[in-house]
Amino acid sequence: MSCTKFIAADSDPLEGSYNPVLMSYLVKPILNCSLYSCWETSCLRSNKISSGLNDAYNLIDEMIKIRASDIHQVIGQMIKGDFDDESNWQIVEYVFDKLSSEGCGLGVRFYNALLEALWWMFQRERAARVLDEASKRGLFPELFRKSKLVWSVDVHRMSEGAALTALSVWLNNIQEMFLNSEHLPVIATVVVVRGEMEKTTDAQDFPIAKAAMSFLQDNIPSSSFTFPEWNRGRIVCQQSQLRQILTGTESSSSKKKMDKLISLSNTPLTTAGAIASKPDGKANDVDSRTDSTRTELLTSAV
């Protein structure tokens, strides 16, 4: 699947010609990367897993080969795990800093697309790290809120992959605070819809609402998260029920490495001709490319 072919496809609304609005977006590397991430996700979710992954890998390789754009190369290599160690991650931070100058609107779309791709490619530990970088740069300021009465995670502006990443991080943070003897809130809340729609029963049928509820039911033992009658744009869990869920994880606190409530790991990306990520966060033939990219980034504007 080629980026160029996709843009020029003879399908509505393009009708066999280039869409000027879409092409104006492609001038911006940030949105170009977002489009690649969206296409990668489309490959994964519209095909069988094996063929979908192969298509996604091919798109990542295409990103890395775009020599005219450091941003594409860095994002493609980051998805593969080439920059996981701290010294190389600084390259990713540098690119994210540069992208921050494009504004919050473009930033939200970029991180939503990137997190969507990372989640469905099973690079979920890496997705959590990218989400943290987005938060550091002021994106999704409503994401995590904490008071004596309420602990909340607000995912109403997120793509599905970004929302599930945020939910995972939030649940693991709640578990950690509980095991550190912090007092639980009266209520834990997942915000999935805001505005007028949250007052209607239709709110719980929104894609993000359904995805969040399904995730909670699949991953939380005896999940007591429900849509309350007073607000269908929220998924809530009362303190007593939350305590019951978390009490089952206490035994793991005696282990050297505590098991997380939600497991976040990176599945090695391996396919014919592709770079195989290794446990140390590096990959075959990555060192020379990494050094080259670092030099280019530090000596020229992105």
> pLDDT tens digits, residue range 171-215?
999 999 999 999 999 999 999 999 888 888 889 999 999 999 999
Residue 157 has pLDDT above 80, yes or no: yes
How far apart are alpha carbons 163 and 272 in whole angstroms?
31
* Residue pLDDT, tens place only, 34-51: 555 555 555 555 544 455
- pLDDT band at residue 11 under the 50/70/90 scheme: very low
| Rounded average pLDDT over 126-139 | 96
**DSSP-derived pairing of the beta strands 144-146 and 234-238:** unpaired
- Coil, strand or helix at 258: coil
How far apart are alpha carbons 147 and 166 in whole angstroms?
18
Higher-confidence residue of 32 and 239: namely: 239
pLDDT at 65: 81
CA 297 to chain centre: 24
Q: Set out the domains of the chain in order of their start, with CATH numbers.
A: 3-123+269-299 (no CATH), 144-254 (3.30.1370.110)
List C-alpha distances in Å: 58 to 34, 36, 37.
16, 11, 12
Residue 92 has pLDDT above 70, yes or no: yes
How far apart are alpha carbons 262 and 169 in whole angstroms?
8
Higher-confidence residue of 14 and 280: namely: 280
* Residue pLDDT, tens place only, 272-290: 434 344 444 444 444 444 4
56-65, 104-113, 178-187, 265-274 — which is least confidently predicted?
A: 265-274
Residue owning tokens 């590397």: 29
* Residue pLDDT, tens place only, 225-256: 999 989 999 999 999 999 988 887 665 445 44
